[in-house]
Amino acid sequence: MQLTLWTYEGPPHVGAMRVATAMEDVHYVLHAPQGDTYADLLFTMIERLPRRPPVTYTTFQARDLGSDTADLFKTACSQAYERFRPNAMLVGASCTAELIQDDPGGLARALNLPVPIVPLELPSYQRKENWGASETFYQIVRTLAGPHAPAPGSKRAPREAGVKPSCNLLGATALGFRHRDDVREITGLLNELGIEVRTVAPLGASADDIAHLGDADFNVVLYPETGAQAASWLQRFFGQPFTKTIPIGVGATKAFIAEVLQLAGLPADTPLPDSLSRSPWYSRSVDSTYLTGKRVFIFGDATHVIAAARVAHQEMGFTVVGLGTYSREFARDVRDAAKLYGVEALITDDYLEVEAKVAELQPELVLGTQMERHIAKRLGVPCAVISSPVHVQDFPARYSPQMGFEGANVIFDTWVHPLMMGLEEHLLTMFRGDFEFHDGAAASHLGRATAASAPARSEEVAADTTPETTPAAALAPPAASSAAIAVAQWAADAQKELQKIPFFVRGKARRNTERFAAERGLATITVETLYDAKAHFGR
């Protein structure tokens, strides 16, 4: 395991906690030492849940290692059952307790408790949080729905005449990015299409709901990271097909509707809901100077990254200059998506690599996790959060889905808000000499991210700190921008001449000039170099 100041994913038992906390009558007994008992903080502080997560710890200490820790686990199991009376119990070990090899599954089964026991073997030193959530949900479905599976080889009975088609929504968990609102949005959308949603799982599901997942006609996988493995098992054993389209963005939502209509056996010309998104018209109505072609860098979990890249390119008119994920299990999917935009995917769980890539690419907008929000703030670049991991401010009190037609509206507002629009640029240009509104003043939504906190590379950097044009590499710490620092130095008269260029294109002019000088091996950029570069790239 990599120890780091920030981490995109916790160990796999955190994923198991997310599934257990999402469900109604399941309890998780975790063999863990004192210090691994932080579930309360994750769910009550970050997600603001009004209840404690259903997790009981053995909480052994160093002095207990000389005695029988297995007996501690059996005692904790028995007490948890007597206190909470769950209808199913998950048992497993944290990353530290895994080294003791006490076999929580075998110990729990030996107690002969009158509820199903789901043993979780989550290799903490090879796997991480999303895999842990996926494996936990899969094991719950296998254990609880398995006894209800039809005999192998038998065909699924056709739906009776006059009965509405039905589906389950799979993948939403506790601590998920906008999962609660996505579920509400997609449930409403399916209901408008005449499709009944039987069960949402694991979010809000009971053990009995899981046992009867096979009653639905098909499954809708909202988040493949946590729901695809269980959906695949249900397809094999219950003959339930499942959706492949993630309804994020207007285009994907329409494709999703077509897919579910086909799976439900409904006419393809079923009228779409009246509440279509306003985002297509809004994106077309914005002056292209301030929206079309914005250079965007995207990083997060695979589901949201692939969807965000498609929305950015097809629906917002942005230029995708980089994308990546920390979800190594979906690296191939992200690489395939990157090829569509002519970029190389960044597959890493090291935020320093992500920071270096952002500094190198100098995007005008970053779409990412809470880590990318911090990175963008350090570099003075606008940012919007699109994926877990997230912090408390990304669990808003308002209704704020990412999926469906309303989700497309939310995405438009969220992504456009950090950008500097036409009137703001016009006013800043008009008052460029004013002590408060000069073009060296950072936009208010970025706080006081001014050049004072940046390396003293040149006076040009100090003046060119607007969020639309700030060279990210110039504001990055030396370790994160070593590739960008190796450029020609600007002469004083060239810096002065550069200031005469409108600041909303000044960043591009600066980059092109530095590239021109680097290709010709020039050590100093003069006024002549600036205009030679302008002539060269203006052909």
Residues recognised as catalytic: 287
For 171, phi then psi, to 5°, come to: 115, -20
Q: What is the dihedral of CA 127, 132, 134, 139, to 10 degrees?
A: 120
**Cβ-count burial 426-461 (b if 16+ within 10 Å, e if not):** eebeeebeeeeeebbbbbeebeebebeebeebbbbb
Interaxial angle between packed helices 250-264 and 404-416, expressed in degrees from 0 to 180 and rounded to the nearest 10? 170
* Helices and strands in the chain, H and E counts: 22, 14
Nearest to 335 by CA among 326, 344, 327, 368: 344
Cα(189)–Cα(516) distance, integer angstroms: 52
Nearest Cα residue to 350 out of 378, 317, 326? 326
Asked if 58 and 73 count as a contact pair (C-beta separation under 8 A), the reply is: yes
How far apart, in whole angstroms, are the C-alpha atoms of residue 208 and residue 201?
11
DSSP structure class, residue 100:
G
Three-state secondary structure string covering 227-267: HHHHHHHHHHHHCCCECCCCCCCHHHHHHHHHHHHHHHCCC
- Mention every residue, 6+ apart, whose C-beta is less than 8 A from residue 193: 257, 260, 261, 264, 266, 270, 273
Dig out the tokens for 488 from the structure: 């020609």
370-379 vs 351-361: helix crossing angle, rounded to 10: 40
**Amino acid, res. 477:** P
412 φ/ψ angles, rounded to the nearest 5 degrees: -55, -50
Identify whether the C-beta of residue 387 lies closer than 8 Å to the C-beta of residue 300.
Answer: yes
With a CB cutoff of 8 Å and minimum separation 6, the contacts of 160 are: none
Structure tokens at 58: 């053995």
* 9 vs 533: CA distance, rounded Å: 45
Q: How many C-beta neighbours within 10 Å does residue 145 have?
A: 22
Using only C-alpha atoms, the chain has a radius of gyration, in whole angstroms, of 27
The pair of structure tokens assigned to 513 is 């000039």
386-396 residues labelled b (16+ CB within 10 A) or e (exposed): bbbbbeeebbe
